[in-house]
């Protein structure tokens, strides 16, 4: 956490509340969080927020100043969050970057209790190189033929492919489990051996699960909160994730099982045969 649906939820809330406002000040709580180089934090003072976008699990603010456009890319990592207001004094301890803003939202806070997230300051050329190096195809917009070609070339396990950020950007353990159950595919199936109709079923399931999760505001299974402090509701619709020992929701009569590995896989042995 957070994965693509949570990052998209964050990007949409930023778009709704912050477009057109100006950054008046930037305060850093921990220096190793911010990666300068292609831009500097001082440049963003006086810049207007022109757009927001999402790259995989990361969220970017596009800023405009004196005809120049630069970007702030928030790498949310495992526990990174953006807030419009700090929910309690306890959040101040791990608030590593604060932007003071004009308008109805006085500030934007980057909070992260762990060290997996970073904030990158990039110009346009730097953003393009950054994205090319880190992010594969976006599962919400990838054309069918491109997805089919990608799957056909991969000889490894199917779940590993779904979570490979340089191949398909944004899917983590939670949604990989949910997508594979809906597609009726075992996590250990070999990607390149799937037949055309099976790949199409996977493609459709991937888009359906992610779209439904975004509409529900993501999944708040651990720490995720949207910038306005609300929780995502999609965890209530999870079919297999973290449900080992519970009946399969397809009513096949089997219990959900757990495969232990680098990331635990949850599956139904009847609906998802190996």
Write the CATH number for 151: 1.10.8.50
End position of a domain, from candidates 87, 113, 134: 134
Q: Angle formed by the axes of helices 173-183 and 196-215, to 10°?
A: 130
What was the pLDDT predicted at 76?
A: 87
160 found inside a domain: yes
Catalytic residue among 54, 57, 118, 189: 57
Catalytic residue among 2, 5, 187, 227: 2
Predicted confidence (pLDDT) per residue in 102-129, tens digit? 999 999 999 988 766 789 999 999 999 9
The distance from CA 213 to its chain's CA centroid, rounded to whole angstroms, is 11
**Contact indicator for 18, 49 with CB cutoff of 8 Å:** yes
What was the pLDDT predicted at 181?
A: 98
Catalytic residue among 36, 64, 263, 269: 263
139 found inside a domain: no
What was the pLDDT predicted at 114?
A: 76
Catalytic site includes residue 2: yes
- Which residues neighbour 166 within 8 Å (Cβ) at sequence distance 6 or greater? 134, 135, 136
Predicted confidence (pLDDT) per residue in 189-237, tens digit? 999 999 999 999 999 999 999 999 999 999 988 789 999 999 999 999 9
* Judgement on whether residues 157 and 191 belong to the same structural domain of the protein: yes
Out of 19-28, 31-40, 41-50, 107-116, least confident range: 31-40
Counting the structural domains of the chain, the total is 2
Catalytic site includes residue 263: yes
* Judgement on whether residues 198 and 223 belong to the same structural domain of the protein: yes
* Judgement on whether residues 184 and 231 belong to the same structural domain of the protein: yes
What was the pLDDT predicted at 173?
A: 95
End position of a domain, from candidates 107, 134, 161: 134
What was the pLDDT predicted at 113?
A: 85
For the entire predicted model, the pTM comes to 0.94
**Contact indicator for 33, 76 with CB cutoff of 8 Å:** no
22 found inside a domain: yes
Q: Which domain holds residue 30?
A: 4-134
Out of 89-93, 190-194, 243-247, least confident range: 89-93
Give the residue among 145, 127, 147 at the shortest CA–CA distance from 54: 127
End position of a domain, from candidates 134, 156, 184: 134
Give the residue among 200, 233, 33 at the shortest CA–CA distance from 208: 200
Quick check: 154 pLDDT over 80? Answer: yes
Give the residue among 85, 88, 90, 81 at the shortest CA–CA distance from 111: 81
* Judgement on whether residues 130 and 148 belong to the same structural domain of the protein: no
**Contact indicator for 29, 97 with CB cutoff of 8 Å:** yes
Catalytic site includes residue 247: no
Indicate the pLDDT class of residue 39, thresholds 50, 70 and 90.
confident
* Judgement on whether residues 70 and 170 belong to the same structural domain of the protein: no
CATH number at residue 26: 3.20.190.10
Catalytic site includes residue 113: no
* Judgement on whether residues 176 and 239 belong to the same structural domain of the protein: yes
Quick check: 20 pLDDT over 80? Answer: yes
* Judgement on whether residues 156 and 68 belong to the same structural domain of the protein: no
DSSP H helices in 98-163: 124-134, 144-153, 158-162
What was the pLDDT predicted at 87?
A: 80
* Judgement on whether residues 128 and 221 belong to the same structural domain of the protein: no
Predicted confidence (pLDDT) per residue in 155-197, tens digit? 999 999 999 999 999 999 999 999 999 999 999 999 999 999 9
- Average pLDDT value over all residues in the chain: 93
What was the pLDDT predicted at 120?
A: 94
Predicted confidence (pLDDT) per residue in 134-149, tens digit? 999 999 999 999 999 9
Q: How many CB atoms lie within 10 A of CB 178?
A: 26
């Amino acid at each position: 956490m957070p994965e693509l649906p949570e990052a998209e939820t964050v990007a949409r809330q930023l778009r709704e509340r912050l477009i057109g406002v100006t950054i008046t000040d930037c305060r850093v709580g921990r220096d190793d969080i911010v990666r300068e180089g292609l831009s500097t934090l001082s440049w963003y003072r006086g810049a207007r927020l022109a757009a927001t976008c999402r790259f995989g699990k990361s969220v970017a603010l596009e800023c405009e100043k004196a005809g120049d456009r630069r970007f702030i890319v928030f790498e949310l990592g495992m526990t990174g969050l953006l807030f419009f207001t700090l929910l309690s004094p306890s959040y101040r301890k791990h608030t590593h970057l604060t932007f003071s803003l004009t308008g109805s939202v006085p500030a934007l806070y980057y909070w992260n209790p762990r060290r997996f997230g970073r904030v990158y300051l990039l110009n346009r050329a730097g953003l393009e190189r950054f994205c090319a190096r880190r992010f594969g195809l976006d599962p919400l917009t990838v054309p069918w033929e491109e997805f089919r070609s990608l799957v056909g070339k991969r000889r490894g396990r199917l779940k590993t492919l779904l979570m490979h950020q340089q191949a398909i950007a944004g899917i983590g353990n939670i949604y990989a489990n949910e997508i594979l159950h809906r597609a009726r595919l075992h996590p250990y199936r070999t990607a390149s051996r799937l037949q055309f109709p099976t790949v199409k079923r996977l493609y459709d399931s991937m888009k359906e699960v992610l779209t439904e999760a975004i509409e529900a505001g993501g999944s708040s299974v651990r720490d995720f909160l949207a910038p306005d402090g609300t929780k995502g509701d999609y965890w209530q619709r999870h079919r297999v994730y973290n449900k080992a020992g519970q009946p399969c929701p397809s009513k096949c009569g089997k219990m959900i099982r757990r495969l232990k590995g680098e990331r635990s896989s949850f599956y139904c042995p009847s609906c998802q045969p190996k």
